A and B are shown apart, each in its own frame.
Chain A
Amino acid sequence: GDSVTQMEGPVTLSEEAFLTINCTYTATGYPSLFWYVQYPGEGLQLLLKATKADDKGSNKGFEATYRKETTSFHLEKGSVQVSDSAVYFCALSDQLGSSASKIIFGSGTRLSIRP
């Protein structure tokens, strides 16, 4: 079945460092891809998404490009801040048909940023 694999955490960086969190997927169809974020004490929320190959999703300085050839959707940010400390989840939408989709999440990567 479809699946999402993301790099294990925790990831600890200094403020203003460059961030990459790797995510690869396995899917039989043409899924949409997502990054969700869970800040401490808060619920999960959508960070960014891409719906087709070569699309780039971006939000709050984060970017991820849908790479069909490498089945990847790596999350990047050029200069992280302490406020970016959170757990990040990569996800895909499994298009079961024209009217249904199952959204599968990776295991999550905990990111901690040191001042």
Chain B
Amino acid sequence: GAGVSQSPSNKVTEKGKDVELRCDPISGHTALYWYRQSLGQGLEFLIYFQGNSAPDKSGLPSDRFSAERTGGSVSTLTIQRTQQEDSAVYLCASSLPAGTHNEKLFFGSGTQLSVL
């Protein structure tokens, strides 16, 4: 497709289970971002990739959260031992190489995660 694709669009899980969220960026976009949007809240930065490396992981809320990107394309965000406070919309965005003053982010539709 032409846009950023995220799957699943909705995920309901039980507390304590692990979940894996997937993001497929726009072809050719080397920068990839994960954000979290809680109900009524703004966008919380989680992690950013330039190619396959993550220069800044400071936004990950705890060691239960991890992310990887392989082949400079698809990224997965994994949340282990989910808690109710993890419930939110997880947004992925991609952009052309940074540092070119062209940091326009293209967002996916998000994954709505509900932890029961």
Known contacts A46-B105, A89-B43: A105-B110 contact under CB 8 Å: no
Number of A-B residue pairs with CB-CB distance less than 8 Å in the complex they form: 63
> B103 an interface residue at 8 Å Cβ cutoff?
yes
Q: In the complex, what residues of A have CB within 8 A of residue B110's CB? A: 43
Residue B78 CB within 8 A of the other chain:
no
Bound-state Cα–Cα, A103 to B110, Å: 17
A102 to B105, CA, bound (A): 11
| A residues contacting the other copy or chain, number (CB 8 A) | 25
Residues of A within 8 A of B116 (CB): none
CA separation between A93 and B104, bound complex, in Å? 10
Docked-complex contact B108 and A103, CB < 8 angstroms: no
Q: Is the CB of A44 within 8 A of B45?
A: no
CA distance A99 to B97 in the complex (A): 7
Contact with A along B74-106 (1 / 0, CB 8 A): 000000000000000001010001110101110
Given contacts A97-B55, A97-B99, A103-B48, 5 further A-B contacts (CB under 8 A): A32-B103, A89-B43, A99-B98, A100-B99, A102-B56
4 shortest A-B CB distances, which residue pairs? A107-B42, A105-B43, A101-B98, A44-B107
